[in-house]
Amino acid sequence: MIYLDNAATTRMYDECAQIADKYNRELYFNPSARYRLALKAEEAVKKARAVIAAKLGADEGEIYFTASGSEADNIALLCSLRRKSGRVIVGAAEHSAVYQCACELERRGYEVVFAPVTRCGAVDIAAFSALLTADTVLVSVMHVCNETGAVNDLKAITSLVRKKSPRALVHSDGVQAFGKLPVNVRALDVDLYSVSGHKIHAPKGVGALYAKKSVHLSPFVFGGGQEKGVRSATENVAGICAFAKAAELIYPRVDGCAEGTEKGRAAAEEYLKENIDDIVIISERGKCLDTFLSLAVKGVRGEVLVHVLDDMGIMIGTGSACSSHSSNKRIPKVLGLDEEYWDGMLRLSISDMNARSDLLEGCKALVDAIKAERKYAKK
């Protein structure tokens, strides 16, 4: 089996699975209870919060644990605004969690505008700058595009916001960046930043939101008052502790295979270009993470190719797993792809658990599948 859909989710580290098992079966106690073993669970959550805060360059009191990166995005966009009107600027290629929240804000009366992106999915800085106004209340631009791996220059973006729209809050969906790029929320000068566990080899069902101390969040889930009243619910101790462990483990492991990843990514791209006509490589080297290889192929259906490769024991994606079941063509449209390429958009993504040869082997199988599909279509 070759797994090439790590941008959708990752296999849990063994060390994280062991921690999750410990807090699910041994120290399974509710952190809000007051007996000694429950206090140990409470202390474990506190330590995990400190780990995530340190990895983000934040203070412990600025970290809110959530059930996912999507939930963190929802809290950031829907619970942070104090003004009841104004402009909201969102990157046109944002994850559906941010995009749908922006649509909800528009229904609530805010003026929502979408910042154009380049062919590889990064926000066009000049076009973004032109959208900033004095009445802008919120900006949300992802750190790394989940569809293409394009890296946005967040520091440049926040600098423009502080200069032209000083009253605006800046949020970034960092789900695809955390664990792959160094992240320091102070240096980036963001007000809100979302991360997720299952993208970095932690369990599904846990994420976190950084919110600067000056940002007031209204309650998202009402109940017992956990997470400073923003997200009430009994804490997912096992997931939170495993998330913190993954955050400690991932950077040394990713850094250790960086050179091989870069070479493997280059070799895979060259193989595709040499062997397939009418192909667009969306993930541009130097502008996108080397763990992504997003492409679009003319005259084929991505879903068909996914099933063909699945039968061969190779798993790839057609794009964000959160939107792959939708007929929405928003992403290929905003990337400027010609319509005949829309159905053939594919995403291959690797992690530190992949062998160096996996990406190239997957591309070789993909080339064979594309040739077979085109031959069949001509009959």
Residues annotated catalytic, as ranges: 322
- Write the single-letter amino acid at 190: V
Whole-number Å distance between alpha carbons of 144 and 189: 16
Nearest to 154 by CA among 166, 145, 165, 164: 145
Residue 307 CB-density burial (10 A; 0-12 exposed, 13-18 middle, 19+ buried): exposed
| Cβ–Cβ < 8 Å for 207, 71 | yes
Whether 107 and 113 have beta carbons less than 8 Å apart is answered as no
Placement of tokens 């360059």 in the chain:
57
Task: Tell how strand 169-173 and strand 87-91 pair up.
Answer: unpaired
The three-state secondary structure class of 17 is helix
Give the C-alpha separation, 225 to 241, whole Å.
20
